[in-house]
């Protein structure tokens, strides 16, 4: 009812639902940094081991331990996450793809 009076009220969950996810032809996915880690896990069928942050951008910050820069890469057991664009100190876009287990562990 309050929204009818003052307009739409956004919270962290509505922002993450509206965050953009673009599936690219090469199998990579371009996402807004505000996409939840849970959504990324659903897209790739992978697990992102974190309990301290809710978004993939927050996860990148946490893993790097510093302000990210364009081109930075975070690798998990199954995902490759690349920082594509920044706006000041803020992450904007990330490119994510699943790591091919055969490429990660080449046979001798």
Q: What local confidence, expressed as pLDDT, does residue 100 receive?
A: 77
Question: Model confidence over 1-27: pLDDT tens digits?
Answer: 444 554 544 444 444 455 699 999 999
Q: What is the 3-state secondary structure (H, E, C) of 54-74?
A: CEHHHHHHHHHCCCCCCCCEE
- Is the per-residue pLDDT at 101 higher than 90? no
Q: Find, among 34, 42, 29, the residue nearest to 60 by Cα.
A: 34
Question: Model confidence over 45-90: pLDDT tens digits?
Answer: 999 988 889 999 999 999 999 999 999 999 999 999 999 999 999 9
pTM of this prediction?
A: 0.76
Domains annotated for the chain, with CATH where assigned, are: 23-102 (3.30.465.10)
């Amino acid at each position: 009812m309050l929204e009818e009076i003052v307009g739409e009220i956004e919270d962290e969950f509505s922002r993450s639902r509206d965050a953009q996810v673009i599936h690219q032809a090469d199998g990579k996915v371009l996402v807004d940094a505000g996409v939840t880690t849970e959504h990324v896990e659903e897209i790739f069928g992978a697990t992102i081991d974190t309990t301290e942050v809710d978004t993939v951008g927050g996860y990148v910050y946490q893993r790097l331990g510093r302000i990210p820069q364009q081109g930075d890469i975070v690798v998990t057991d199954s995902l490759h996450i690349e920082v594509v664009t920044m706006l000041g100190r803020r992450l904007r876009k990330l490119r994510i793809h699943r790591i091919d287990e055969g490429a990660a562990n080449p046979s001798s």
